[in-house]
Amino acid sequence: MPHENPDPAVMREHYRSVLLHESDLAATPMEQFDRWFGDAADRGLPEPNAMVVSTADTDGRPSSRTVLMKRFDERGFVFYTNYTSRKGTELAANPHVSLLFPWHRIARQVIVTGTAERVGRDETAAYFRTRPHGSQLGAWASEQSSVIPSREKLMERYEQLAERYPEGEQVPVPPQWGGFRVTPVSVEFWQGHENRLHDRLRYVQQEEGRGWRVERLCP
């Protein structure tokens, strides 16, 4: 082997952190997420809004990828993507989704299960307008998840778009691009501890209007 990598079997982190008690939790998982997201940002984690989104096709075959969470509030978590991408087509046929925030450096992870639906076109347009000009063109240039013959083809398409919409000119929102909002059904907060005696507290949505139940899971 040209490069001698460390053996992952002997890699071991010792997690030292404060215990997570049921009485510490906020009333709703989104409030609790707000606290932990704040901690992750304060601790200087790079891209704490990066999350792994897992979808499945109608035969139950899963696929995962990282995306950036761009908004969260009591309604759920929003990310933007191409609706014709693999995730986009899988979510159109099967809206069940899992999100995972891997905040390894602070020995935490948050796992969400729920369902995804498209955000309104106005909300998508409002966000699209905040993106840098180059990213707006990129959203048009890429038929996300399709096979292309070369990088040159992609760049060619980008250059054509840059000519059509020079810097300063408004780029229209691509019809195949937009947001998904994930409405949570359960949200697990995982806090790592020594001897693998981690805390796992999971909010589970009760029947309509009855709020959230919290349960502790064995690590």
Residues from 43 through 102 that contact ligand FMN (CB under 6 A): 47, 50, 63, 65-68, 79-82, 85-87
Please give the torsion angle defined by the CA atoms of residues 6, 9, 11 and 13, in that order, rounded to the nearest 10 degrees.
170
- Closest approach, Cβ 207 to ligand FMN, in A, equals 33
Backbone phi and psi for residue 198, each to the nearest 5 degrees, phi listed first = -75, 160
Hey, what are 101's tokens? 């925030």
If one asks whether residue 154 binds ligand FMN (CB under 6 A), the answer comes out as no
Nearer to ligand FMN among residue 173 and residue 201 (C-beta) = 173
Q: Please identify which residue in 84, 94, 142, 144 interacts with ligand FMN, judged by CB under 6 A.
A: 144
Rounded Cα gap, residues 167 and 139, in angstroms: 15
Q: Please identify which residue in 54, 84, 94, 145 interacts with ligand FMN, judged by CB under 6 A.
A: 145
- Quote the Cα angle for 10-14-15, to 5°: 140
Catalytic: 71?
Answer: no
With beta carbons less than 8 A apart as the criterion, state whether 178 and 124 touch.
yes
Nearer to ligand FMN among residue 87 and residue 202 (C-beta) = 87
- Contacts to ligand FMN by CB under 6 A: 47, 50, 63, 65-68, 79-82, 85-87, 144-145
